[in-house]
Amino acid sequence: MMNNIKYYFNKRYFFLVIFIFMFSSLAFSFGSKEKNKETLPVVQITGIVRLVGTSTFPELIISDSQTDWHVIKEERSKLNDFQHHTVIVEGEETVIELQFANGLPAGTRRELRNIRIIAVHEWAD
């Protein structure tokens, strides 16, 4: 009888410790994401707005002389009407290092978010 009681309380204690550990690690990770969100660098870009990709997965990019800046999905509505136009925009830059499946580097993807349109020209350079 005593062994059953010990086993019962040890089992409850074990699950309680696991439960507390899971939620404390979740709370820590939520806080770190908010901290990273505040530190994104703001860049100003002059380039041509283009629609690239397949019909299933279209992407809107701004091409300047050196880089293609990918516009995140939530921000596309701001620039859809300016395709094939030269624009000057300001936005927060996110840099993602891409890798092949074998772990070798595949390049860099630069994304823009929180875009603010500064100027639009009717011609493309």
pLDDT digits over 90-100, tens only? 999 999 999 99
87, 79 contact by CB (below 8 A): yes
Q: Is the per-residue pLDDT at 14 higher than 90?
A: no
Confidence of residue 11 (pLDDT cuts 50, 70, 90): low
- What is d(CA 100, CA 109) in angstroms, rounded to the nearest whole number? 13
> What is the overall mean pLDDT for the chain?
81
How high is the pLDDT of residue 105?
Answer: 93
Q: Is the per-residue pLDDT at 6 higher than 80?
A: no
Q: Is the per-residue pLDDT at 32 higher than 70?
A: no
59, 52 contact by CB (below 8 A): yes
Which position has the token pair 């701001």? 78
pTM of the model: 0.64
Q: Is the per-residue pLDDT at 19 higher than 70?
A: no
How high is the pLDDT of residue 2?
Answer: 54
CA 65 to chain centroid, in Å, comes to 24
| % residues pLDDT > 70 (the chain) | 68
Encoded tokens for 101: 């499946």
Name the more confident of 87 and 9.
Answer: 87
Q: Which residue, 88, 90, 60, 86, is CA-closest to 73?
A: 60
84-106 CB burial, b ≥16 within 10 A, e <16 = eebbebebbebeeeeeeeeeeee
